[in-house]
Amino acid sequence: MLIVVALGGNALLKRGERISAATQLKNVQTAALQLAKIAAQHDLVIVHGNGPQVGLLAQQSVEKSGISLFPLDVLDAETQGMLGYVIEREMSNLLSAERSLATLLTMVEVDPADSAFATPDKPIGPIYTKTDALTLNRLKGWRLAADGTGYRRVVASPKPQRIVEIRPLRWLLEKHVVLICAGGGGIPVVVGESGQRTGVEAVIDKDYCAALLARELGADLLVIATDVPAVFADWSKPTQRAILQAHPDALDSLSFAAGTMAPKVNAGCGFSRSTKQRTVIGALDHIEQMVNGTAGTSILPHAAGITYKTDESKLDGAV
């Protein structure tokens, strides 16, 4: 079975944790332990998030004058190499010597007319206080939006249209190579009238990119691993309920947080609708159970409406 795993940035760096090499390594090692269990039995493609990491690089890449030294597409490429290397290294320490792994820098084409360029909403980087957010807006021209009790920088997040390196990815999968690719949603590029590609100032949502990649590769399962055990209706309200399984159309009637769960649900629904295959969303720690169908929230094209978890439910990872 071919499985595409979208590994959330929040799964690699817990909310509130300070970004550092040691913290990043600890979280990658935790993720690698879970992913290696899947790679031992299935063909595996890993798409990781990069929100905290690319935001930090962007912050470090701004001169005192407010001028950015490197655009976001270049910083996206940096995070692909940085995180891909660490994930590949740690997984290679867990898998048999005969199993090959490869990290591939991956460009993803986007539409230059995408409305996202006019309405940035993708959060990146650390959480700031309101005072710091106002200062950054004034000095650097950054757009910042509320995120919990603080504020984060938001940038354009256009929808992915095409995976540029899809052919070499298919070649590697034919050899059963564990792939780490399209990190951070891919390096965003646009194609000009002459056919030349140019990088753009944006960060692509990794869940939408993982769903596109899963469709183009003919994946049997899309796993979206994050830092919560399931998709919840009425999240953070007294009426919140964990969803065990749902038809994509049934999920359309519910509302989810725009910057967090909504992209995951929308990406999963899109994949399941177009391929008739299962998507599962849940916690990284339960990834083996998610693959087996005993944890997380499964999006199924043949499901009848929405099934919620009850106290009698036996799915270990659903609460």
The residues annotated with a catalytic role in the active site are 9-10, 122, 206, 264
Residue with tokens 């995120």: 147
Buried-state track 19-49, b at ≥16 Cβ within 10 A, e below 16: eeeeebeebbbebbebbbebbeeebbbbbbb
Tell me the two tokens of residue 125: 């980087």
Sheet holding 143-147, edge to edge: 122-128, 150-155, 143-147
Q: Are 264 and 224 in contact (CB under 8 A)?
A: yes
Backbone angles phi, psi at 81, to 5 degrees: -65, -45
What crossing angle do the helices spanning 72-92 and 51-60 adopt, rounded to 10°? 130
Instruction: Give the DSSP H/E element, type plus range, for residue 9.
Output: helix 9-12
